[in-house]
Amino acid sequence: MTKNKFGLKDDEIHLFKEAIRGAKKINQDQVLHAPMRMKVTQPSDRKVKQEQVDASFYFSDEFQPQLDNEGPTRYLKPDSNPYELKKLRRGDYTPELFLDLHGLTQMEAKQEIGALIAACRRENVYCACIMHGHGKHILKQQTPLWLAQHPDIIAFHQAPKEWGGNAALLLLIETEESTRR
């Protein structure tokens, strides 16, 4: 008994041929289905600018929210699950979008943060990271104050070391999908 390219013995091949004797070959009509492609639409520049302006509308330099000064920088929106803040602190969430504010003025930083929040809502991104750096501590102090004013921010916490430590913030943004959770 010899083995062929399929690794079958001669008697196994003979047994197979006996089993399919009398079967007729089916002619294949070659029907090719076009692959379904999702149409990805990019929002217009005007719409993106308007989202950015709308999102940064909430940021006031005059308003001082009540943030805890003890320990790491953190905030939890009233009536939100406190466990979300704990998961942020532990680094359970992986940020999908990053924003680096190094070298920006306060006005530019506000606009970029507004654009980040708008992009997160548009793309259904739940967790993002803002890297404000150390510098002269201006953006480090102002960024949490601005974020606490925005209604779409669920929580933020000083980032774990792997995402920037005390020079960055991890934030949770309320999206359409997160409201279903």
Across 87-110, average pLDDT: 88
Full set of structural domains in the chain with CATH: 73-179 (3.30.1370.110)
Across 103-114, average pLDDT: 87
In the chain, which ranges are continuous DSSP H helix? Answer: 10-19, 45-56, 82-90, 106-123, 138-149, 176-179
DSSP 22: T
Pairing of strands 97-100, 168-173: unpaired
pTM of the model: 0.66
What is the pLDDT, as a whole number, of residue 41? Answer: 60
CA 96 to chain centre: 3
What is the pLDDT, as a whole number, of residue 39? Answer: 58
Bridge partners of 153, per DSSP, are 173
What is the pLDDT, as a whole number, of residue 106? Answer: 86
Average pLDDT in the chain = 81
Across 13-36, average pLDDT: 81
Predicted confidence (pLDDT) per residue in 128-166, tens digit: 999 988 878 788 888 888 888 888 889 988 888 888 888
pLDDT band (50, 70, 90) for residue 170: very high
What is the pLDDT, as a whole number, of residue 57? Answer: 66
d(CA 99, CA 169): 10
What is the pLDDT, as a whole number, of residue 105? Answer: 87
Residue pair 120/52 in contact by the 8 Å Cβ criterion: no
